[in-house]
Structure 1
Amino acid sequence: MSKAKAAAPPPGCSLDINDPKVQEAAIRIQASYRGHRSRKELREKGPPKVLLNLKDVVLLEGSAAKLECRVSAFPDPFIVWSKNGKELKDGPKYRYVFEDPDVVALVVRDGVLADLGKYTVTIKNPFGETSDSACIKVEVPAKITKGPDTVKAKKGSTVVLKADISGEPPPDVGWMKDGQDIDEDDRVFYDIGDTNTTLTIKKAQPSDAGKYEVFVENNLGVDQSFARVDVQ
């Protein structure tokens, strides 16, 4: 039984590998490929670069926030996150996340006011390192964490009512007596600090006796607390 002959290629489609022109073209193709591969390797191997920067984020109290950026690095980089210059360890509070080959992220869980600050990611490989920073802004409803105590004072003494406060943005603070705003003067006045407020009554008089209220307010919430002052 005779074997079938292979069909001849269409005219103009045959290739003679011994043809000097064919061999020269093959050499040019191989050189071009080697050059492309070399350029590709040079482009990939080098110090890390940040392609998409970190952005500031807002963290609500009790919730989580994520900082992320897009990087270019080959070989694979070593990632370190820090807050205000102090390294953060990967764990329950701070979670290192690698979502895509070129995206790195940090998740901050169980947000509290102390999480406010500047966060930095440092990206290293054998060719060098780079870094980028952004801030976490924490929003906390205004709150009176400890209200003023009821006071029994002697006539002519100095009375001080104190309340511990918190909130971010910092809350507006006010004091009232028997439902009326207190008009400050040299004898009765109040001070507002970062974490507390005090009402001072100098040379207390029987007319100073009554129900005192302190209140705090920001765009996230309002809180108040009461205390009684008796003057004898």
Structure 2
Amino acid sequence: DHSPIFCATLLRCTSHGNQRESGFLSSLKAQLIRENETQQERSKPEFLRKFDDIEVIEGSAAKFVCTVSGNPDPDIVWLVDGEPIKESRRFRMAYTEDNQCTLLIMDASEADEAEYTCKASNSMGESQHAAELIVITPGA
């Protein structure tokens, strides 16, 4: 366990016989509680919404969309047949504040038929989900 360790000295101030915590101690306690809650909420990425195999007609766009949770927020990498995809005019990627991940493939061709994977990772772990893109050639 690599959780941080905190040490503090308890300081009590008395005022007319009533004990009260100093402002510094109250602030320190609040900070420790917040940090403890943050530690407890940490989680490895999890797919809340997954995508399915997609069939598109050659020349049209294909869109994979999923929703990923995790604390801290996960880093997202899209892969095609296990290799990272570089963003370009044809391959567009987005990750919104509501944890929605999108891969948009413009002008899909037979060469784009493959397994597409969304890989989410953070300091707590990694999760991934994959599906196939099937490109239908008209008249074939």
Tell me the TM-score normalized by structure 2.
0.69
* 1:94 correspondence with 2:91: yes
**Cα drift, residue 89 of structure 1:** 0.6
Distance 2:75 2:113 in 1: 25
* 1:73 correspondence with 2:77: no
Match of residue 128, structure 2, among 131, 154, 166: 131
Matches within 5 A, 1:7-26: none
Instruction: Give the direction of change, closer, same or farther, for the CA distance of 1:100–1:64 in structure 2 (3 Å limit).
Output: farther
* 1:53 correspondence with 2:83: no
**Cα drift, residue 85 of structure 1:** 1.3
Quote the residue 1:110 is aligned against.
107
> What is the CA deviation profile of residues 165-209 of structure 1, one whole-angstrom value per residue up to 9, with x for unaligned ones?
xx3xxxxxxxxxxxxxxxxxxxxxxxxxxxxxxxxxxxxxxxxxx
Letter in 2 for 1:104: C
**Cα drift, residue 101 of structure 1:** 2.4
> What is the CA deviation profile of residues 104-163 of structure 1, one whole-angstrom value per residue up to 9, with x for unaligned ones?
010001111111111011101111111000111111112xxxxxxxxxxxxxxxxxxxxx
Distance 1:100 1:36 in 2: 22
Match of residue 42, structure 1, among 40, 43, 59: 40
SS in 2 for 1:70: strand
Letter in 1 for 2:118: V
The structure whose Rg is larger is: 1
**Cα drift, residue 99 of structure 1:** 3.7
Matches within 5 A, 1:138-149: 138-142=135-139
SS in 1 for 2:40: helix
Quote the residue 2:11 is aligned against.
none
Quote the residue 1:83 is aligned against.
80
Distance 2:91 2:44 in 1: 26
Letter in 2 for 1:42: Q
SS in 2 for 1:114: helix
SS in 2 for 1:101: coil
**Cα drift, residue 51 of structure 1:** 0.9
| Greater RCO, 1 or 2 (C-alpha within 8 Å, sep 6+) | 2
Distance 1:58 1:100 in 2: 28
Tell me the TM-score normalized by structure 1.
0.43
SS in 2 for 1:141: coil
Distance 1:72 1:96 in 2: 17
**Cα drift, residue 39 of structure 1:** 4.9
Quote the residue 2:60 is aligned against.
63
Letter in 1 for 2:84: E
Matches within 5 A, 1:184-195: none
Letter in 2 for 1:67: F
Percent identity (aligned): 30
* Structure 2: stretches of 5+ with no match in the other structure: 1-31
Distance 1:119 1:140 in 2: 19
SS in 2 for 1:58: strand
